[in-house]
């Protein structure tokens, strides 16, 4: 009897040990889901799209998500090495040589549109354009226009508000303005240190009914909040853009011609190893198209509600108002987990 009791205890102990090992294995399996690393180049629509992806991935799939503040050059190097995994908004037109070469080398994949048609342009307030008869880029050379846009530190020239230091558009815009003959004779260029500073520099004059001349893009909140006139430029064509690219990369070279940005879908770029790292996340991202108008509405909501950088709130707003869109990105079981997480918000 004693021996039987001893064997029973030993068996129970082994069974318990086996159960604990099994539970530990399950726990390790869940804990072992890889962290998905997103590039954060510090602008509004990317903050919103990163937040949407983060909420969906963490709540629907169980993977942790990390966003990494970066500049375009660092993103380019990191994404192709796997130090970052996802760029929700490549804007590859601005870095097309790197994009094409990296895809050919097998280090980058383009997973298609995050949203359709992301235009980039030069603009002034609509009222300012009406007042001064501004239509084309050559109209920016008018003496009255330059005077109204005078650089406070060099009143003989106007001031152009460029995109953020470290973004490729800063060098593209410089190259274009030189070819158009606006720089250095008619305008000085200022590049802000952040997208917030850039937005403030453009929105501030609008609020005061004053003129401002700068570069911007859509989708963005200030494009929906104020009336702008997009200045006419020569139409995009590839030979012209190749010339602009030469001047972008070599400040001593003046392009033979310049032209408008091409309006293209804004695509997702991912490290080529992402599919092996986590095939479910790869599939999710390949289907993830948030839509231009829903992002415009979400950006405007974020400004109206002064969320002050709490981008998860914008993600929750988007997801609660666009269930018909995001549920097509994933299986029903994952969508239910996302819905449960939203219900708690």
Q: How much is the average pLDDT of 52-59?
A: 98
Q: Is residue 299 part of a domain?
A: yes
Residue 214 has what pLDDT? Answer: 98
Instruction: Assess if residue 16 is contained within a domain.
Output: no
111 with 156, same domain: the answer is no
Residues 226 and 237 in one domain: yes
Per-residue pLDDT band at 62 (split at 50, 70, 90): very high
Domain tally for the chain? 2
Both 130 and 198 in one domain: the answer is yes
Share of the chain above pLDDT 70, in %: 91
- The reply to whether 255 falls in a domain is no
Among 216, 249, 282, the domain boundary falls at 249
Has residue 21 been placed in a domain?
no
Residue 324 lies in a domain: yes
How many whole angstroms separate alpha carbon 157 and alpha carbon 145? 10
| % residues pLDDT > 90 (the chain) | 82
One domain, residues 106 and 124: no
Core vs surface per residue 311-343: b (16+ CB within 10 A) or e: bebbbbbbbeebeeebbebbeeebbebbbebee
Q: Are residues 169 and 223 in the same domain?
A: yes
Residue 28 lies in a domain: no
Looking at residue 333, its pLDDT comes to 98
Q: Is the domain of 204 the same as that of 191?
A: yes
CATH number of 175's domain: 3.40.190.100
Q: What is the mean pLDDT of residues 135-146?
A: 98
pLDDT in tens, 166-185: 899 999 999 999 999 999 99
Tell me how far apart the alpha carbons of residues 40 and 75 are, in angstroms, rounded to a whole number. Answer: 9
Q: Rg of the Cα trace of the chain?
A: 26
Domain that holds residue 197: 120-249
Same domain? 311 vs 323: yes
Of 219, 249, 279, which residue is a domain's last?
249
For residues 100 and 145, state if they share a domain.
Answer: no
In a domain, 3, yes or no: no
In a domain, 59, yes or no: yes
Give the contacts of 114 (CB within 8 A, at least 6 positions apart): 49, 88, 89, 265, 266, 267, 268, 288, 289, 290
Is 124 in the same domain as 95?
no
On average, the pLDDT of the chain sits at 91
Encode pLDDT of 108-117 as tens digits.
Answer: 999 999 999 8
Least confident of 22-31, 35-44, 275-284: 22-31
At residue 284 the predicted structure's pLDDT band, cuts being 50, 70 and 90, is: very high
Confidence of residue 303 (pLDDT cuts 50, 70, 90): confident
- Give the containing element (helix H, strand E) for 195: helix 195-208
Tens digits of residue pLDDT in 316-327: 999 999 999 999
What value does the mean pLDDT take over residues 276-298? 95
Considering the domain architecture, whether residues 142 and 239 belong to the same structural domain is answered as: yes
Between 223 and 21, where is the model more confident?
223
Same domain, 87 and 160: no
Residue 30 has pLDDT above 60, yes or no: no
- The CATH number that applies at residue 44 is 3.40.190.10
What confidence score (pLDDT) does residue 31 get?
61
pLDDT category at 150 given cuts 50, 70, 90 is very high
Mean pLDDT of 76-105: 96
Q: Is the pLDDT of residue 234 over 60?
A: yes
Last residue of a domain, one of 249, 281, 310: 249
Task: Determine the average pLDDT of the residues in 56-72.
Answer: 97
Whether 130 and 241 share a structural domain = yes
């Amino acid at each position: 009897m004693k021996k039987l009791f001893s064997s029973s205890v030993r068996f129970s102990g082994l069974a318990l040990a086996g159960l604990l090992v099994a539970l530990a294995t399950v726990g390790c399996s869940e804990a072992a889901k890889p962290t998905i690393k997103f590039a954060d180049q510090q602008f509004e629509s990317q903050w919103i799209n990163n937040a949407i992806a983060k909420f969906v991935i963490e709540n629907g799939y169980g993977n942790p998500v990390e966003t990494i503040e970066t500049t375009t050059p660092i993103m380019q190097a990191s994404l192709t090495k796997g130090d970052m995994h996802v760029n929700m908004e490549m804007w590859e037109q601005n870095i097309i040589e790197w994009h094409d070469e990296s895809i050919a080398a097998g280090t980058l994949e383009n997973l298609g549109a995050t949203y359709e048609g992301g235009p980039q342009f030069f603009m002034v307030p609509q009222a300012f354009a009406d007042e001064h008869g501004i239509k084309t880029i050559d109209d920016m050379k008018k003496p009255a226009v330059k005077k109204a846009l005078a650089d406070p530190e060099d009143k003989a020239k106007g001031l152009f508000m460029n995109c953020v230091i470290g973004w490729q558009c800063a060098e593209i815009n410089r190259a274009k303005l030189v070819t158009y003959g606006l720089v250095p004779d008619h305008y000085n260029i200022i590049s802000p240190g952040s997208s917030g500073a850039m937005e403030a520099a453009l929105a501030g004059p609008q609020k005061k009914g004053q003129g401002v001349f700068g570069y911007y893009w859509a989708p963005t909140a200030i494009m929906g909040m104020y009336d702008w006139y997009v200045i006419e430029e020569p139409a995009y064509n590839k030979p012209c853009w190749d010339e602009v690219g030469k001047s972008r990369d070599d400040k001593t070279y003046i392009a033979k011609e310049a032209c408008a940005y091409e309006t293209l879908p804004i695509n997702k770029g991912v490290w080529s190893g992402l599919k092996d790292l986590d095939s479910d996340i790869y599939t999710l991202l390949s289907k993830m198209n948030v839509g231009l108008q829903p992002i415009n509405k979400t950006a405007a909501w974020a400004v109206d509600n002064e969320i002050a950088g709490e981008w998860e709130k914008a993600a929750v707003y988007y997801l609660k108002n666009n269930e018909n869109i995001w549920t097509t990105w994933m299986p029903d079981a994952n969508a239910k987990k996302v819905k449960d997480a939203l219900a708690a918000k």
